[in-house]
Homo-oligomer: A and B are copies of this chain.
């Protein structure tokens, strides 16, 4: 089923709901993917939700539940009897159960914890205690563990016996008696080995693991870099406590990118989709940086005010302020955004600082030269000859000289600030366009008035 069929499907579902054709509705819904059903339900009035949800076969229902957003889950849980809630919770993987719990108000959380079996409750509480955004908080505790003295045949038997409850069976982890991680073996290797091979002989002993407290983004990047389907999570004593699977890693990467992009556009990161966040939430995410940047841009205004006399003497200069400031801002944001992205992809490290600056200097000279030349031609041909603007060659030289210097400063500031931020432990992403623009604005004006005072003999 492709995306473009969604609308037709939705109309169909709404019609069946209106005509109360429950049996038909179940026929329509059952073959769909859980993510699509959750999307369909999202568009329906919430009071319909419990009824429709009960139409789904039990296993599918739990899968759909996982794909829903917090509000919908809450509506459902509140409509569940304790028996229904137990049934759904039994079908959930531990990490999904934790995701649900994190979105719920305290009363609902209590009810959930009361209704899961004691073992799951223990696992849930364990995961909940890890800090937000750590490997421990996104891992699952349902994986296949093997002992190294098992034969392949026994291992496969064990997988068959216990595999239904595991989030992945494609990678199995080998542990010793004290649960230390000592190796891994893929299901593929198991299948392609002889039945009487011993795990110890076929397992991979050099393996990459992450620590429970590692940042979730680093974990996701590890999975992506090595093309793993899952990565084991160990505690401080190298005991295996969980695994992070590739589907969760993909979600983490998407979330982190969205966060970075939001920070680059001077917003506080939000974990809600755009249309789900209320006005108040969006306002709160946007206003702090707007206020801060507004205040800092008043310094730019102070610079202009302090050169008021110069501007009065050569009024033509005022008209080129926006162009110089905008171009500086654009150059700076190009450099900063390139570097920020490079840092987050691990392509750039602090030790590359001089290489990066040297590269930006060369690019800046090229860009600045071309922009100044284009500008000079435009000043002479368009502004002077067509619009009869009072632009002397000296004024043009002031504008074009400022252009070259501004571009150079903008690129150097733009590329080095994110790297310095990272070095001192700040998030490089906040050093993006708006922040750089404010700094570069001030710099470009200072350069402009410097050139003007010197070349035009203003005071």
Interface residues of A (CB under 8 A from B): 1-3, 31-35, 156, 159-160, 163-164, 169-170, 187-188, 191-192, 205-206, 208, 218, 223-227, 229, 246-247, 249-251, 253-254, 257-258, 261-262, 264-267, 273-275, 279-280, 282-283, 286-287, 289-291, 293-295, 297-298, 300-302, 304-305, 308, 311-312, 315-316, 318-323, 325-327, 329-331, 333-334, 336-339, 341-342, 345-348, 352, 355-356, 359, 362-363, 366-367, 370-371, 374-375, 378, 389, 432-434, 437-438, 441, 445
A-B contact pairs, 14 of them (CB 8 A): A159-B191, A160-B192, A164-B192, A229-B246, A265-B337, A275-B348, A286-B331, A290-B371, A294-B327, A294-B374, A301-B320, A308-B315, A318-B318, A322-B325
Which chain B positions have C-beta within 8 A of A160?
Answer: 191-192
Identify the interface centre among A32, A170, A322, A432: most chain B CB within 10 Å of its CB: A322
* A265 CB to nearest chain B CB (Å): 4
Does the CB pair A226–B159 fall under 8 Å? no
Q: Which B-chain residue is minimally distant from A245 (CB atoms)?
A: B227
Does the CB pair B337–A319 fall under 8 Å? no
Give the distance in Å from the alpha carbon of A297 to the alpha carbon of B330 in the complex: 11
Which chain B positions have C-beta within 8 A of A156?
Answer: 191
Give the distance in Å from the alpha carbon of A341 to the alpha carbon of B31 in the complex: 30
Does the CB pair A287–B370 fall under 8 Å? yes
Q: Which B-chain residue is minimally distant from A283 (CB atoms)?
A: B366
Give the distance in Å from the alpha carbon of A198 to the alpha carbon of B430 in the complex: 57
